[in-house]
A and B are shown apart, each in its own frame.
Chain A
Amino acid sequence: MNEHPFEPEYPVDSLTAGVAGGELSGESSIVMEATTLDGVVAKKRLGPLFWICVGWLALNVLGAIFANVLPLKNPYFEDYSVVNAGPGWHHVFGTDDLGRDIFSRVVYGARVSIAAGLGSMVIGFAVGMPLGMLAAYRRGRFDGVTTTVMYVLLAFPAIIATIGVLSFWTPRNLIKIIIVIGIASIPLVYRVVRAATLAVASKDYVLAAKVQGATDRRILMKELLPNIAPVAVSFLVIGIATVITLEGALAFLGLSVNAPTPSWGNMINESRTDLAQNPWLALFPALAMCLFLLCLNFIGDRLRSHYDVAEVKL
């Protein structure tokens, strides 16, 4: 360094002398601030439990997708010779009061539960996420109007709204359930995404991208989206879990898919009458749901702390 910024007298004459060098600062000045690449990258691990959970979810999803290809018993076949049987060789999880195989009904039931969870979250994110990001980025009147609308929707208890709509919108099927829960989830997604975007949108790097000539669209996609993605993904995962619970609750009230289509919630509902004679009937779908939700929540939580980049690395 040839000049010190706090020199006693300001050597105006070195105005010309100081820059005469022309060549760049050189190695000596750079070494002081150089951070070596090795040693910095101490990668955080997600841990084996995370991967076990991912594996379990994958198994469930694959099972649900390929249920009719897998060598499963017909979940609708009523075998009156083995009614209310406990777990055994022929029926791994036992049979229900109509002699249907519980194992294959649990596997088929995953279809409804997972489809409801994923489907309604897709709707919620498809609408709530762009709205939330735009509102937080643009602010002003657009933000004011959307936020007010969303808060009005939020003020209305979602479960009562869903029950109300589903009671009258008959015949019920999976698509309708997905639509209703999906719409109910929009304001929740909106609120989370908007809050996350607000925190990012005021950062200097967004302004920096803007003054490099980036369009609003590029700023939303390249600067904001990657920064809110971790929050969005963990909310997505936890949202799916919440919807599966909600579907279970609706099924228990008889408002989910119509019998005989199995869903985890439906099966728990059907088991009510025979709970004393055949606890297996409630146990296995409840266990399947619990494990699935546990894994989802664990993954969501793990992801959130893992991708908390902003705080940890800066």
Chain B
Amino acid sequence: MSEPLLVVRDLCTTFATPTGRLRAVDGVSFDLGANETLGIVGESGSGKTVLSRTIMGLQPRTNVEVSGSVRLGGFEVVGASETAKRSIWGTEVAMVFQDPMTSLNPVVRIGNQITESLRVRLGMSRAEAKARAIELLELVGIPSAAERFRAYPGQLSGGMRQRVVIAIALSCSPSLLLADEPTTGLDVTIQAQILNLLDELKQRLAMSVILVTHDLGVVATRTSRIVVMYAGRVVETGTTRDVFYDHRMPYTRALLESSPKVSNPSHTRLAAIAGRPPNLTELGAGCAFAPRCAYASDRCRAERPELTAAGDGHTYACWHPLAPRGAPS
């Protein structure tokens, strides 16, 4: 049996900071098959972004230590040299960034930003690259692509720019697209458009997508599986349906409840999670969520729960899991 496209095993990313060692990613494992969408969800500071950058093999040059394994299409990312990683960047894995305002070079025409990697990586001629770039711009839904080819990023709206960013990411047909909060910098209406676009492109180009977000609404309808992260660890993973309707981890429920619902009467108080995410340099022995958890017991504070299976591909890390619920018919 062939290996899934992306296999992450026991991945740890540790930063040496002046106040101590900071485990931003702590023992994360998951698989991602071809043409699947995985959602990585968690609060700010839960290690989502560091995780996605570690999967890419993007680390600062100093003060960081990565252990574990990330196998992407058979290529071991952890410990690979810059040159080796450069060979998979763009062609195997590409990234869409959070803020389309800063992820395009303001002084280069968007056309040239797309043709750049086409020409350098795929060795296309100028004319070929231009034709392909216009195709890509059309693919991501930019009207009158041939004219926009010569536009500067400053002449495009945020949503348009994010489309261009996606076009650049897709230029070398990667098999995995990592989207790190791709819609956070956009208006709500544009958010939906961009997410739908990512979804459609995934179907068309048969690639896998990792959608990193703090917004459960974003992943609800677009992912096949979800990984919930807290304080650098995976606290629950499962199919999207399991995570939404049959979650066991109190943190997952708290996260779900903190999403505003349109059906609530107005002036309903939003259920926020009390407290803040813990300081990752001073984690105790117990469950990291225990100080904020309504169900926490002495055991939670003393002993860290490991991931426990709760059915097919559904795991959670909790000593006091919530009762299983039947999915609504």
A205 B116 Cβ-Cβ under 8 A: no
| Cβ of B41 under 8 Å from chain A | no
- Quote the shortest CB–CB distance from A312 to chain B (angstroms): 8
In the complex, the chain A residue whose C-beta lies closest to that of B244 is A10
- Quote the shortest CB–CB distance from A40 to chain B (angstroms): 5
- Quote the shortest CB–CB distance from A220 to chain B (angstroms): 13
| Cβ of B218 under 8 Å from chain A | yes
Instruction: Kindly list chain A residues whose C-beta atoms are within 8 Å of the C-beta of B152.
Output: 313
The CA of A212 and the CA of B141, in the complex, are separated in Å by: 21
A7 B220 Cβ-Cβ under 8 A: yes
Instruction: Kindly list chain A residues whose C-beta atoms are within 8 Å of the C-beta of B215.
Output: 5
| Binary interface encoding of chain A residues 145-181 relative to chain B, with 1 for a CB under 8 A from any of its CBs, else 0 | 0000000000000000000000000000000000000
Instruction: Kindly list chain A residues whose C-beta atoms are within 8 Å of the C-beta of B72.
Output: none
B191 A22 Cβ-Cβ under 8 A: no
B240 A15 Cβ-Cβ under 8 A: yes
| Cβ of A223 under 8 Å from chain B | yes
| Cβ of B200 under 8 Å from chain A | yes
| Cβ of B66 under 8 Å from chain A | no
Instruction: Kindly list chain B residues whose C-beta atoms are within 8 Å of the C-beta of A223.
Output: 105
Instruction: Kindly list chain A residues whose C-beta atoms are within 8 Å of the C-beta of B101.
Output: 314
The CA of A15 and the CA of B89, in the complex, are separated in Å by: 29
Assess A15 versus B105: contact at CB under 8 Å? Given A25-B200, A35-B157.
no
Assess A37 versus B155: contact at CB under 8 Å? Given A3-B221, A207-B97.
yes
Assess A205 versus B103: contact at CB under 8 Å? Given A1-B193, A33-B190, A212-B89.
yes
In the complex, the chain A residue whose C-beta lies closest to that of B95 is A211
| Cβ of B298 under 8 Å from chain A | no
B107 A41 Cβ-Cβ under 8 A: no
Instruction: Kindly list chain B residues whose C-beta atoms are within 8 Å of the C-beta of A69.
Output: none
The CA of A118 and the CA of B188, in the complex, are separated in Å by: 53
| Cβ of B260 under 8 Å from chain A | yes
| Cβ of A259 under 8 Å from chain B | no
Within 1-46 of A, Cβ neighbours of B (below 8 Å) are at: 1-12, 14-15, 18-19, 21-25, 27, 29-30, 32-35, 37, 40-41
The CA of A1 and the CA of B190, in the complex, are separated in Å by: 10
Contact residue among B160, B165, B188, B189 (Cβ-Cβ distance under 8 Å from A35): B160
| Cβ of B281 under 8 Å from chain A | no
A7 B97 Cβ-Cβ under 8 A: no
In the complex, the chain B residue whose C-beta lies closest to that of A6 is B217
A19 B116 Cβ-Cβ under 8 A: no
Instruction: Kindly list chain A residues whose C-beta atoms are within 8 Å of the C-beta of B218.
Output: 5
| Cβ of B117 under 8 Å from chain A | yes
Number of B residues, CB within 8 Å of A: 80
**Number of A-B residue pairs having CB atoms within 8 Å of each other in the complex:** 188
The CA of A23 and the CA of B141, in the complex, are separated in Å by: 10
Instruction: Kindly list chain B residues whose C-beta atoms are within 8 Å of the C-beta of A5.
Output: 188, 191-192, 195, 215, 217-218, 220
Q: Is the interface of A mostly helix, strand, loop or mixed?
A: loop
Instruction: Kindly list chain B residues whose C-beta atoms are within 8 Å of the C-beta of A6.
Output: 188, 217, 259-262
| Cβ of A48 under 8 Å from chain B | no
| Cβ of B148 under 8 Å from chain A | yes
| Cβ of B320 under 8 Å from chain A | no
| Cβ of A210 under 8 Å from chain B | yes
Instruction: Kindly list chain B residues whose C-beta atoms are within 8 Å of the C-beta of A306.
Output: none
Assess A140 versus B61: contact at CB under 8 Å? Given A18-B221, A37-B151.
yes
The CA of A314 and the CA of B155, in the complex, are separated in Å by: 9
| Cβ of B309 under 8 Å from chain A | no
The CA of A218 and the CA of B120, in the complex, are separated in Å by: 10
Closest CB pairs A-B (n = 8) = A313-B154, A8-B263, A213-B90, A33-B159, A204-B103, A10-B220, A5-B217, A212-B90
Q: A33-B159, A37-B147, A214-B117 are in contact. List 20 more A-B contacts (CB 8 A).
A: A4-B262, A5-B215, A6-B261, A10-B217, A10-B244, A12-B220, A12-B245, A15-B221, A19-B199, A21-B200, A33-B158, A33-B160, A35-B157, A35-B160, A205-B102, A208-B103, A211-B58, A211-B95, A213-B117, A309-B106
- Chain A contacts to B: CB under 8 angstroms: 1-12, 14-15, 18-19, 21-25, 27, 29-30, 32-35, 37, 40-41, 138-140, 203-205, 207-215, 218, 222-223, 226-227, 229, 309-310, 313-314
